[in-house]
A = this chain, B = another copy of it.
């Protein structure tokens, strides 16, 4: 599943390329888009009393994106055991296919009080959806 978006002017830094912190935000946009596409929109997750905080981010910058370029963010769940989930990303430029970034985010699941839960027990149906979409890297 691919999430597309244009680079905004205010996302550039003094080198006229996207500031490296902003890609972390693009990953969040893409992740939320992806979850909606697989039947888990944010509003549903919230209503189920589940939160999915970010535990870690690991990204490699390959080539900088520039103003008005359209980037494609490929998202895939590469691990999910109900306690931890790992999501992988690959950003390319729409025009040229040039690789911009590869990376992963790691997540856990919590209830609304921020206490970690095992999704398998806490919300088995939601767990099954995640599990169904796990793809080997």
Residues of A within 8 A of B (CB): 8-10, 12-16, 19-22, 24-25, 28-29, 32, 42-43, 51, 53-61, 67-68
Evaluate whether A10 and B16 lie within 8 angstroms (CB atoms) in the complex, with A55-B60, A56-B60, A57-B59 already known.
Answer: no
Complex Cα spacing A21 to B57, Å = 9
A33 closest partner in B (C-beta): B6
Q: Please, which residues of chain B bring their CB within 8 A of the CB of A42?
A: 9, 67-68
**15 pairs, A vs B, C-beta closer than 8 Å:** A8-B28, A9-B28, A9-B29, A9-B42, A12-B14, A15-B51, A20-B24, A42-B68, A43-B68, A53-B61, A55-B60, A56-B59, A56-B61, A57-B58, A58-B59
